[in-house]
Structure 1
Amino acid sequence: MLAQTGGAAAAAHEPSSHGKTHLGKAVLITTAVLWLLDWVSTSRLDAREALGIAAWVSAVLGALTAVAHRLDTQRTPVWRQLLTLALTAGIASSLIHLAALLLVMALPGSFAEGPRQTFGATAVVGFFDGDALFGFWALLVELPRRIGAERRLEQERHALRQEAELARIRAALEPHFVLNTLNTIAGLVTEEPREARDLIATLGDLLRDAMQESRRHHHTVREEVSWLRGFARILESRHVGRLAFEWDVDRSAEDCVLPALLLQPLLENAVHHGALRRPGRGRVALRIADDADRLRCTVEDDGPGFDPGSARPGGRGLDLVRRRMALESAHASLRVDAKPGRTRVEIVLPRRSA
């Protein structure tokens, strides 16, 4: 049974009230500027022209804002976004200019000057006027919206990094984990003093690294695997004969960069909700492969499995990993393949070197 989550765009959407505020301000400012320019050039005030300018500006900027909210900014190339928005502004403006021309032709007595351009000329002028409005819109609406969205996105990244860092620190400092590890060491002091000393050193390394690395946002695969090996060694000593780990890491992947602490929740889930829930000896395998322009990380256990579509243990850990990946890259993905006797979680990230 498969459950897959693609790297959906992680852009933080701006609250609709903020977007409407930016649009309203842009309409007012742009209308005022154009009306003043018209007044300076003609030396006269015309309420109907002011209303026409306001209607034109509102329609074009509203169309731009509506199209911009539908664009996938994470997956669509910038040049295609700009082309789409420029065409939107030009076409919307042309249609409004043509509608105004038809109105003048239909009510010749209401407009002293009457129609001054052909339909073709009106459409062309309207198109380029619309693209000029596109510049006002980008400066007054889209730029503030994207700055605000990026700020909120960074705040969410920071919050998730903190949560992940705390999760790792809790895993190392959790009283039961430390107490059980110390009990294991106490049992080995007389029978296996060398093993007891090694476990004390490993535990000390875990505690030190958990504290020192809590401020880092990314690190290499080599550093991540080194910490996980120490974590796994203590678990193997605590569950002698019941737990075994397998490690398969491509040498070419060791210097690749991934979000710090990304794999720890997956390994912990595989141990507690997988391998240790089966009779006899359980197995957890970690594989990290350098796959051309992608980094492929797989955590697999031979536990009882679960239904990915239903509530399951460890769901919070998977959700945290999934959201962190979406924030890191729109091209990242997480795939869960669970069936009786095996659970496999695969992460695919864009390849980045240190």
Structure 2
Amino acid sequence: MTAEKQTNLARQAQLAQLTQQLQPHFLFNALNTVSSLIHTDPDAADILLTRLATLLRAGTDASQRPEQSLAEELALLRAYADIMVQRFADRVEISWEVDATAQDCRVPTLGLQPLLENCFRHVVERRSALTHIAIRIRRGVSRVQIELEDDGDLQRLPERRGVGLGNLERRL
């Protein structure tokens, strides 16, 4: 087996691990959120199901598309954000500052989602106060700068990276 084939197989395994990590916990919570909306706000439930389908489709296609345009990645991130904002409606506010000239930059598929997931997991879920999350993306001369920032307590961050961030770091 060639080194290139081994690298591709390793990349596919990492992407498979990422999509499996996304699915059980997130899927359970997303479906519960949709279930709670079905009778009170069917239109919102329908929108969330569409967002969930978008994410699941991307997760199953990720091993075949290890990278995509920032525009496509942002569509996935917005789908994830919409589901999570609905789930934590009164506890989170997200602002988006995206440089339109960065839309065609190539980024890892589902590369931004673990960053936003960490904001929810380590800040939003742990406190009852409103959490502000800022997503800022700027295009520089030779790179794109992506920042996800929340107003959580820095003292509460985990000491080591979990599966999502570790996987993303290896992919980058």
Mark the runs of 5 or more structure 1 residues left unpaired by the alignment.
Answer: 1-147, 326-354
Mark the runs of 5 or more structure 2 residues left unpaired by the alignment.
Answer: none
1:194 maps onto 2:43 in alignment = yes
Structure (1 or 2) with the larger CA radius of gyration: 1
Q: Pick closer, same or farther for the CA change 1:193–1:187 going to 2, 3 Å.
A: same
Distance in 2 of aligned mates of 1:318 and 1:300: 15
Does the 8 Å contact 1:249/1:288 carry over to 2? yes
Q: Who is 2:60 aligned against?
A: 211
Q: Who is 1:112 aligned against?
A: none
1:324 maps onto 2:168 in alignment = no
Q: Pick closer, same or farther for the CA change 1:177–1:307 going to 2, 3 Å.
A: closer
Q: Pick closer, same or farther for the CA change 1:177–1:260 going to 2, 3 Å.
A: closer
Q: Matched residue of 2:63: which SS? A: helix
- 1:164 pairs, out of 8, 15, 19, with 15
Q: Pick closer, same or farther for the CA change 1:244–1:154 going to 2, 3 Å.
A: farther
C-alpha displacement of 1:307:
7.8
Q: Who is 1:311 aligned against?
A: 159
Amino acid paired to 1:321: L
Q: Pick closer, same or farther for the CA change 1:205–1:323 going to 2, 3 Å.
A: closer
Q: Pick closer, same or farther for the CA change 1:244–1:307 going to 2, 3 Å.
A: closer
When the two structures are superposed, what TM-score results if normalisation uses the length of structure 2? 0.84
**1:77-116 CA distances to partner (integer Å, 9 max, x unpaired)?**
xxxxxxxxxxxxxxxxxxxxxxxxxxxxxxxxxxxxxxxx
Q: Matched residue of 1:215: which SS? A: coil
Distance in 2 of aligned mates of 1:213 and 1:272: 23
When the two structures are superposed, what TM-score results if normalisation uses the length of structure 1? 0.44
Q: Pick closer, same or farther for the CA change 1:299–1:205 going to 2, 3 Å.
A: same
- 2:90 pairs, out of 223, 234, 241, with 241
Distance in 2 of aligned mates of 1:184 and 1:268: 16
Q: Matched residue of 2:96: which SS? A: strand
C-alpha displacement of 1:270:
1.8
C-alpha displacement of 1:219:
0.5
Distance in 2 of aligned mates of 1:324 and 1:212: 16
Q: Who is 1:230 aligned against?
A: 79
Q: Who is 1:299 aligned against?
A: 148
Distance in 2 of aligned mates of 1:275 and 1:297: 20
C-alpha displacement of 1:238:
1.3
Distance in 2 of aligned mates of 1:259 and 1:230: 17
Percent identical: 34
- Quote the RMSD (CA, aligned, Å): 2.6
Q: Pick closer, same or farther for the CA change 1:208–1:157 going to 2, 3 Å.
A: closer
- The correspondence of residues 38-117 of structure 1 with structure 2, limited to 5 A, is none
Q: Pick closer, same or farther for the CA change 1:253–1:229 going to 2, 3 Å.
A: same
**1:296-354 CA distances to partner (integer Å, 9 max, x unpaired)?**
1111111122488x724x434333322322xxxxxxxxxxxxxxxxxxxxxxxxxxxxx
Distance in 1 of aligned mates of 2:115 and 2:15: 12
C-alpha displacement of 1:255:
0.6
1:271 maps onto 2:109 in alignment = no
Distance in 2 of aligned mates of 1:177 and 1:185: 12
